[in-house]
Structure 1
């Protein structure tokens, strides 16, 4: 499972892992800055980069097509290896969070210049289609989808991009959406006649910060960039640049917007329904499964989720953000369904059913559940409505 932070189609769950290789050859050379061209915040990232590097007195230029035509989640590792080594020294607009901070890689990061994240939106003036009244849109294979499946009895309209997720609400195809907030800002800039009610999402997967990512040869610039960001914060220039993109100062939980009656209906991209029911026994799994699952995890998941499931460029798969001590809205069936349809990010859904079940068994054991005598199958994992709280063995 992985997302190097999939905003449109993902990290995440979840984005492709990113390894930055710098091409800077001398401290006095012009630093080449790349942004993710498809990211909704690309224009902001360029503006902030130009201002910050100017404040730091570092000669720099934004490379228009350094990362090809993909967005921040649509660029493969192979593409990044080729394009970043040749065209980029720094990435502007690299998203980081407490649950996926990319700390296991070779990159170094500046302090954040914008707190971004996932929000719940609705369009008060939109004329809802009949089927939209019980529909929540979310971006496929992104943190938005993972946030949404943690809620009770949710039917999802899975959209392919963050932009189309906003459109689903604006056009009345969905009553509400979980979406990357910069996509909402970008839509409003392009369509000023539209307005949205925005509520912050109460989830550990919702909170992100945009940063500058440095490769080995430009890592020495990080302190100067941090000092420039501090200076621009102190004199208010950074706030002026980012004001339009700043998250609304709200603390209401998104859950009240998602706990709506739902019914199955055909969707363009797929449906996931998750019910959180107490008093349910966990699906059984065998010790041998966890051994095989750990091997599969190490080869397909660890590079982004961490060898110890701690989260690197993708969320942690152990601990309170994944399996809290109590009151989890994420179910075994919900996370398994997400995993088997979205992961690994470089070949989503391409593993065997039993391999996914073995990885799920390894994740359960890693979060305190004890193996038994019965083997977990894909069907038993998919059907489980057990809330994914930390197991009694922890």
Structure 2
């Protein structure tokens, strides 16, 4: 079967090749003893500004959740999450390697949009927040006077792999 080659949207434009030939041809002409005028340096081409990257979140501060909230989260984890998960998946080096540099909000959003497997997003916001508090507690983050809430600055803080959480 004979293949036909078509020039289309994916082919290289002809203009750069023609321009290169003209430049090479112009350089090879000899016979003129006059000094050619020195061409000015090309003006720098302005580069588009890179999209503003979201700043890397800071290490998790002490006290983003309460011990009561972590306790409620432990009960919920046992009743709901343990049908498919073990606590080992959410603590220690493996968890920190996967989630340590990401924001608490990123983890919360992922859990809320994908769990439970048979009803993603089907639990109350408070239930998800309590489970996140429990997972932070399992990783050795200290409790504080206020509960983790939707208004908490979760986007600003990461689950820090250098924190030295429990294993």
1:303-342 alignment, distance < 5 Å: 303-306=83-86, 309-310=87-88, 316-324=89-97, 328-342=100-114
Contact 1:275/1:385 (CA < 8 Å) preserved in 2? no
- Distance in 1 (alpha carbons) for counterparts of 2:116 and 2:100: 24
Q: Distance in 1 between matches of 2:81 and 2:67?
A: 20
RMSD: 2.8
What corresponds to 2:119 in structure 1?
A: 347
Matched, 1:287 2:67: yes
Give the structure, 1 or 2, with the largest relative contact order (CA under 8 Å, sep 6 or more).
Answer: 2
Of 138, 146, 156 in structure 2, the residue corresponding to residue 366 of structure 1 is 138
Distance of aligned partners of 1:371 and 1:276 in 2 relative to their CA distance in 1, 3 Å threshold: same
Aligned match of 1:34: none
Relative distance call for 1:286 and 1:276 in structure 2 (3 A) is: same
Task: Give me the whole-angstrom Cα distance separating, in 2, the residues matched to 1:338 and 1:282.
Answer: 23
Closer/same/farther in 2, CA of residues 274 and 341 from structure 1, 3 Å limit: farther
Structure 2 gaps of 5+ residues are 1-9, 11-49
Stretches of structure 1 lacking an aligned partner (at least 5 in a row): 1-124, 126-260, 264-272, 311-315
In 2, the alpha carbon distance for the partners of 1:359 and 1:390 equals 22
Q: TM-score, normalised by structure 2?
A: 0.59
Q: Of Structure 1 and Structure 2, which has the larger fraction of its residues in strand?
A: 1
CA deviations 1:14-60 (Å, max 9, x no partner) are: xxxxxxxxxxxxxxxxxxxxxxxxxxxxxxxxxxxxxxxxxxxxxxx
Alignment partner of 1:380 out of 152, 156, 160: 152
Whether contact under 8 Å (1:283, 1:381) holds in the other structure is no
Counterpart Cα distance in 1 of 2:143 and 2:103: 18
Residue 283 and residue 275 in structure 1: after superposition, are their counterparts in 2 closer, same or farther (change >3 A)? farther
The Cα shift of 1:333 comes to 1.4
